[in-house]
Amino acid sequence: MTTSSFTRAYPIRDVHLPVTGLWFAINPQGQIAVHGSITDPDLRMPHGNAPWDGFVPNGSTIHLGDLNGLACLACALDEDMPLPAEHRALGLRELFGRIDDDAYGIAGYATQMVAWQSSTRFCPRCGTPLEPIYGDWGKKCPRDGHTLYPPVSPCTITLIHDGERILMAHKQGWGARFGLVAGFVEPGETLEENVVREIHEETGVSVTDITYWRSQPWPFPHQIMCGFFARYAGGEVKIDANELDDARWFTARDIRSGTPAIPPPLSISRWLIDHWLAGQP
């Protein structure tokens, strides 16, 4: 993630505490410690030489970059570490809209980096403890030279339309909410080929006029969502029951009336739908 006010740290430098900055302290469940009471609608990232007085980081502290010249620091919390008064641990979905956009984007970045540092400690080839690569995010095996870097898994998500309607899909457990067709890109596959394959496999229809729109980092845990529009080209809707339990066509009027429920504002799925709706009478 890069914003107009956030500069990524590169090359990577060791952090020598104490350092004054914004702290992204993350527990093993991926929740982030924020300052604010349970009734406080506006939450804040801890700021200072530590997330709170007396805090000692568990393991290394990661300097992610600088926000308006202020260091952004990520660290792991122990499983049973109590939070001080006026602090809470919340997941990324719960934080959306409750901290500013820059801090929210950095929180997603921090969550991915802390999770990767914690889970990637041994060489997958020989089991030797990995060592950091100086000036880089990677890790290297001192025995066989194997290197690893934080993963990013590309996915496509596509709004399928026929001009006046969009095809929306439903999975078990989603309640009343319908979403868009999405899927992971496979080895040797272009993004556009993935759009065609996923749509046909999951809904049975064919598409044309595939147009890339924009992307979104999706730290659940390490995806990059690539958003597309595609025009319906033919075929009857026939769902893959292993992936979906329903797929239907909806008009702009249907969606504006609240039927079906649509994805929340934090997702590129919602952005695609809102963008399409804006062009409909």
Give the pLDDT confidence score for residue 277 in this predicted structure.
Answer: 97
Q: Which two tokens stand for residue 134?
A: 């100086």
Collect all residues with Cβ–Cβ distance below 8 Å to 163 and sequence separation of at least 6.
231
Contact between residue 47 and residue 55 where contact means Cβ atoms under 8 Å apart: no
Delineate the domains of the chain, giving CATH numbers in brackets: 6-119 (3.90.79), 153-278 (3.90.79.10)
Q: What residues form DSSP beta bridges with 132?
A: 139
pLDDT in tens, 32-78: 999 986 666 678 999 999 889 888 777 789 999 999 999 999 999 98
For 144, other C-beta atoms within 10 Å of its C-beta total 10
Collect all residues with Cβ–Cβ distance below 8 Å to 198 and sequence separation of at least 6.
156, 158, 181, 182, 183
17 or 111, greater pLDDT: 111
Contact between residue 92 and residue 99 where contact means Cβ atoms under 8 Å apart: no
Beta strands in 188-258 (DSSP E): 206-218, 223-234, 246-251
Give the pLDDT confidence score for residue 4 in this predicted structure.
Answer: 62
14 or 150, greater pLDDT: 150
CA gap 228, 272 in Å, rounded: 8
- What separation in angstroms does the CA of 123 have from each of 127, 130, 136, 143, 150? 5, 6, 17, 9, 14
For 264, other C-beta atoms within 10 Å of its C-beta total 12
Collect all residues with Cβ–Cβ distance below 8 Å to 98 and sequence separation of at least 6.
41, 42, 43, 90
Contact between residue 75 and residue 58 where contact means Cβ atoms under 8 Å apart: yes
Number of Cα atoms under 13 Å in the Cβ half of residue 134 = 0
What is the Cα gyration radius of the chain? Answer: 22
Cis peptide preceding 11, ω within 30 of 0: yes
For 207, other C-beta atoms within 10 Å of its C-beta total 24
Contact between residue 155 and residue 182 where contact means Cβ atoms under 8 Å apart: yes
Collect all residues with Cβ–Cβ distance below 8 Å to 12 and sequence separation of at least 6.
63, 135, 136, 137
Report the range of poorest mean pLDDT among 52-66, 189-203, 219-233. 52-66
- What separation in angstroms does the CA of 70 have from each of 9, 53, 65, 241? 12, 19, 8, 49
- The phi and psi torsions of 87 (rounded to 5 degrees) equal -125, 145
**How far from the centroid of its chain's Cα atoms is residue 150's Cα?**
14
- Average pLDDT along the chain: 93
Q: What percent of the chain has a predicted confidence (pLDDT) above 70? A: 97
CA gap 212, 227 in Å, rounded: 6
Report the range of poorest mean pLDDT among 62-71, 92-101, 134-143, 174-183. 92-101
